[in-house]
A and B are shown apart, each in its own frame.
Chain A
């Protein structure tokens, strides 16, 4: 099957303003595209893989964006709709021509990969593999990145340095090495120049979202868009990641069984990050060992505790995809990537406190929460709709908390309810929200998707009791 983005573009109306596009048809085509991709063998050559990675992530990201944006025009007047759609189509075409391996697009594609409720399971698996297959760098290139960072050869900086990477990281790869002291470490190296493409990517993306500027939620969306740009730039700055990792490390005690590898600041820079080397399995390999339910539950509990403790410390783990967790043979959970940690300032902290109060102490403040979290004024005719949306969200979030004893995150119905809520929000265009919620939503869906795949049963009630400040 020869499919590409042009078919998605073709899904948009051409010149006839009376024509309507069948969103269900487009959705079905998208599923076919994804299913086809999933059936293809993993590309063998690095060039082909590089091409696949970029094409795949770009197509998926754009496909979702196209379907999402289309819903905004459903009830617009015909002339305006045609203009918007022409703009969108041109923007998509332009972007497709530019759509080679770029930082922002790759990250967007990765995000889509961890939502099993949206994607067929086999596609999620394919994207999982791609998580670990960023463009490969050969050793002479690695040496130059190290030299750029430290002004010295890798042989001078480290006692030993393995030439072959043992894992791919987002936008880079990870090598085993030893410090001069003999300490085994993992050295994450970023592909050169990729960080500086983020802003250029966003300039291109601006063309894509331009049609949204006519909507009521434009100001809010612009702020959310800016937050994504800010976070992606933060994610490619390994000095910032080192600081987030250090702060996260301080949150966990040995008895938690949650390990954050130590950062070696003297061996780290903007593009190179050196940490303790942790030996463990990623989720697919762990699941392949056919672990007991007790083991799944124990790891699930640690994943929940880690997420909640960071959230309550005002640093949300914004990218809880499976590649960032290690399942250690002694039962400990390793957290290994802190590039996407959202640090809350005073304004966001106040929103967290307010939301916590609403969830656990005083549900009657929901209107106040909505007004502040979504920027919907008291006299806004949409306020009641937003309040209902918030109630639905709260009910879904609190399901595991309200249930005494272990909650089964493997229950597909629970996950599906969350996805349904998210779909309704998009369908109703209830997208006005403080920019912090872009990553908060991603974080919640990400870690719940992880627990779903783990089929973990977790006593959330007890965790909340233990973790929440009294």
Chain B
């Protein structure tokens, strides 16, 4: 029997919804691919046709949430904000959209965002990284920091992002206000480094 694209998409969504419910109710450690398959009403083998691992399911959930956050950011983007404010809006709307299964992500992100896993083309987190950095590149360009930019700059951003992400996933302060402060300070640091680089590129290192 031939399965239509619509049916595939519907099954994929059923898996994601079942996984989300189980991650929230049972936690990351106690949720199995078998349990997700049962909750989604499919055979475990069928689930593997869609997602090879539990981490891949979590990564897909993250990717969807972050995509929605990116759309939300573009919809509310006025072009009046500072670079720090734009990056803050993008990142925080992403984190807010993931708030429901925040605690699960603390464990899952270790695998999803592992720098070692990134060397594999099937790494579930790499697509998230690439998509997110594309958005960041666009924001930087719109604020007068045109590409290409040094690899170090991108790496610095991603390191700060992961640091904030990891902190947020385990942040027990009310409304994650500590993460708000950390994100604000991290972005000030990042923006300052960009401006410093730009200033140095224009005025510094002149030949003697």
**A interface residues with partner B (beta carbon < 8 Å):** 45-47, 50, 137-141, 144-145, 147-148, 191-194, 196, 271
Contact = CB atoms under 8 A, between A and B. Distances in A.
B177 interface: yes
A139 to B, nearest CB: 6
B181 A191 contact: yes
Contacts of A144: 92, 175, 180
Contacts of A191: 181
A192 B181 contact: yes
Most buried by B among A47, A144, A145, A147: A144
Contacts of A145: 177, 180
Q: Chain A interface mostly helix, strand, loop or mixed? A: helix
Contact of B188 (A50, A139, A140, A271): A50
Interface in B38-89: 81-82, 84-85, 88-89
A316 to B, nearest CB: 30
Contact of B82 (A50, A138, A196): A138
Contacts of A141: 85, 88, 180, 184
B189 interface: yes
A193 B188 contact: no
Contact of A148 (B88, B175, B192): B175
B4 interface: no
A47 B195 CA distance: 12
A45 B85 CA distance: 15
Given A46-B188, A47-B189, A47-B192, A193 B88 contact: no
B85 A139 contact: yes
B188 A47 contact: yes
A139 B76 CA distance: 13
Contacts of B191: 47
Most buried by B among A140, A144, A194: A140
A274 to B, nearest CB: 18
A194 B181 contact: yes
B181 A138 contact: no
A364 B92 CA distance: 66
Interface string B78-113: 000110110011001000000000000000000000
A236 to B, nearest CB: 12
A45 B181 CA distance: 18
A271 B92 CA distance: 19
Contact of B81 (A50, A138, A192, A196): A138
B189 A140 contact: no
A139 B184 CA distance: 12
A193 B178 contact: yes
A46 B181 CA distance: 14
Contacts of A196: 173, 177-178
Given A45-B192, A138-B81, A139-B81, A192 B177 contact: yes
B150 interface: no
B198 to A, nearest CB: 13
Nearest to B192: A47
Contacts of A138: 81-82, 84-85, 88
Nearest to A135: B184
A435 to B, nearest CB: 29
Nearest to A50: B188
